[in-house]
Chain A
Amino acid sequence: MTEKIYTITKKNLFDLFGRLSGTHRVIVPYEKGENFHFADFDPKKEDSIELGGIRQSQPLKSFINPPREGMLSVHNEGSKPVIIAGVKGCDLSSLMLQDFVFLQGDYEDPFYSKGRSGTMLIGNDCTYAKETCFCIAMDGAPYPKKYFDMNLSRMDDYFVVEAETDKGNSLISSFRMFFAKASRADIDKRQYNRDRVSAQIKDFINKRGTKNTSQIKDAVMKNYNLTALWQDFASTCVECGACNLACPTCHCFLLFDERSKENFKKRYRVWDACLYRTFARVAGGANPRKHLYERLRNRFEKKFDFFPKALNYFACTGCGRCIDACPGNIDLREVLKGLVDGKWNKPPND
């Protein structure tokens, strides 16, 4: 049981990141006020690195499928392999969908494939939850279950380390001197912490009455023509697309061509947002989703009907970023509650 589970002190971990920085781009989470964000490992800023806390502001896709990427040639020589440390369960579980979209089917996406295989994912337990966290309602957990190479669970001033893949195991064996074997007590303590944060999230879910995946099943299509609900929730939407861009599972993009100053022809992939009016518009201005409420509904249809059918996966990880990001106070949990209960209460805009 304690096989493959180790401990590492905070000092050793940062030394390890320092060593790896020579050959890798190492990305870690920093704490700023109440928020966390990913940035390159900088030993001078060690004090604000936080390998605990909650999910960062950037979704994981930012590093595997960047918001804007050149598409005419796959090779950018000399780019270093990437290590991202601190990835939460809600972000890792989004890879089920992203891998399905970009790696499967008749065409494998060579850019995603390169980003994915060239990135080592170091997962990380949440040490508390925020009111907008509802991963458990979406079949997730506040700690990584899958898709990580190695995981860090923060104790007081050390971490419990678990390797999941060959990549993770070989990192540990290459730097064996930094690691110690975990004890039974370490593992029990990790479990205690996981249970504690899970209980906190369940408490948030119960207090709000947030629906879970088995309740949501079929809810969108059953209420497809409940126009009043969609219109009510869309009434404060400003079409900024923040919910799409912040979402770890949203994968839509646009190919965009331009000429550089030197007249080089370029093609980019840029993240797109289905809330934008232009998303579904066709030639001559015809638009199957002219109204905002239709576009908001489309987002829910894609997440809670299309992907459950295509992949047996609800395309929401409960990270709550869209709720935090929305300037119109549109709360996905409230929309889902409205769909399941048939009554809703759209809080006014701030």
Chain B
Amino acid sequence: MNNPYTYTEAEIVDIAEETANIKTFRLRPKSPIAFKAGQFMDVTIPGIGEAPFTPSSNHNVKDVLDFTIMSAGRVTKLLHQMKKGDTVGLRGPYGLGYPLEKFKSKEIFIVGGGVGLAPLRALLYALFNEVDDYKKIILKYGARTPKDIVYKTEIDSWRKKAKHIDIEITTDVGDDIWKGHVGIVTTILKDLDVNMEEAVSIVCGPPIMMKFVTFKLLDLGFRDSNIHLSMEKNMSCGIGKCGHCRIGPYYACKDGPVFTYDKIKDLPNIWD
């Protein structure tokens, strides 16, 4: 019988330093892995521990997968010390991907904060695969400082993918060279040329950012069933058995990790 708790080996074939505490690891699993943008996987340091991450790469590519990982604690710190050629474990993918069928022919309004751009990068690549199927693709991204912006070199190339792609970046505080907008991400959620009634929004970032962005989007006229939120919960098994990731009647690992706001808005303490 299949053992969902064990992992397959994957080699670290490349490491890109995004910021002082965020790296993108390119992993080559022993056999290709099919995932859908928005799903997550558990990355294991064998004999040490594992943690959940969303692949940040294009889901059409199955032989190498990117994971953009912030050093935030025990396992992620050790992952950051690993080198090209080292081996990690992978299990998954788990959870539901972004409902791309639902996004077809709509205006897509994406809001990211910090390392929350990781799953959104996978989403963007998935959208770029069929870029003409979407009416408009807008990304609003906020980082703490200009140095904390991830995928810096790539973002420009995203802008060039198609005319109907619009990307704006803001930083909470600026510096000498930063020419872009300064202010938290909610400050660039205005003067939008979007039909809020119909558009879909996808938000990923720290809980406090998601909370304020959600309220802002509702204010602007987005429907709660069109706001897609990535809920970060403590996870262990990833498959709805261990009980860790419960949010009301759901398990974030199997019913999420992305939820539309209408499904969770009446549940207690969702932003904590």
Write the residues of chain A forming the contact surface with B, with a CB cutoff of 8 angstroms: 71-74, 101-102, 105-111, 113, 224-225, 251-259, 263-267, 269, 272, 274, 279-284, 286-289, 294, 302, 306, 309-310
Contact = CB atoms under 8 A, between A and B. Distances in A.
A254 B242 contact: yes
B48 interface: yes
Contact of A280 (B48, B70, B234, B241): B234
A27 to B, nearest CB: 24
A232 B237 CA distance: 33
Interface in B218-247: 232-234, 236-237, 239-244, 246
B234 A279 contact: yes
A284 B72 CA distance: 6
B233 A110 contact: no
Contacts of A269: 5
Contact of B243 (A108, A252, A259): A252
A105 B50 CA distance: 23
B80 to A, nearest CB: 13
A224 B268 contact: yes
Contacts of B48: 257, 259
A253 B237 contact: yes
Contacts of B73: 283-284
A255 B5 contact: yes
Nearest to B71: A283
Nearest to B240: A105
A224 B266 CA distance: 13
Nearest to A267: B5
Contacts of A106: 239-240, 254
Contact of B233 (A255, A266, A280): A280
A102 B240 CA distance: 9
B268 A310 contact: no
B234 A255 contact: no
B269 A257 contact: no
Given A113-B1, A306-B246, A281 B234 contact: yes
Contacts of A267: 5-6
A283 B76 contact: yes
B241 A258 contact: no
Contact of A108 (B1, B233, B242): B1
A251 B234 contact: no
Interface in B57-103: 70, 72-73, 76
12 contacts: A71-B5, A72-B6, A106-B239, A110-B2, A224-B268, A225-B268, A253-B237, A255-B242, A256-B49, A267-B5, A280-B233, A302-B243
A267 B5 CA distance: 9
Contacts of A256: 49
Given A113-B1, A282-B233, A286-B207, A265 B241 contact: no
B254 A105 contact: yes
A107 B243 CA distance: 14
Given A272-B244, A282-B233, A71 B268 contact: no
Nearest to B49: A257
Contact of A253 (B1, B207, B236, B249): B236
A107 B244 contact: no
Nearest to A285: B73
Interface in B193-207: 207
A37 B46 CA distance: 37
Contacts of A113: 1
B191 interface: no
B173 to A, nearest CB: 20
A209 B1 CA distance: 48
Given A71-B5, A74-B3, A266 B47 contact: yes
A182 B249 CA distance: 47
Given A254-B236, A264-B47, A282-B232, 12 more contacts: A71-B5, A101-B241, A105-B254, A107-B4, A253-B237, A254-B242, A257-B46, A280-B233, A283-B73, A286-B272, A287-B272, A306-B249
B5 A258 contact: no
B44 interface: yes
Contacts of A310: 249
B177 to A, nearest CB: 29
Nearest to B72: A283
User: Which one of A256, A267, A309 has the highest number of Cβ atoms from chain B below 10 Å of its Cβ?
Assistant: A267
Interface in B1-36: 1-6
B48 to A, nearest CB: 6
Contacts of B5: 71-72, 111, 255, 267, 269
Contacts of B233: 280, 282, 288
B115 to A, nearest CB: 10
Nearest to B76: A283
Nearest to B268: A224
B72 to A, nearest CB: 4
A257 B50 contact: yes
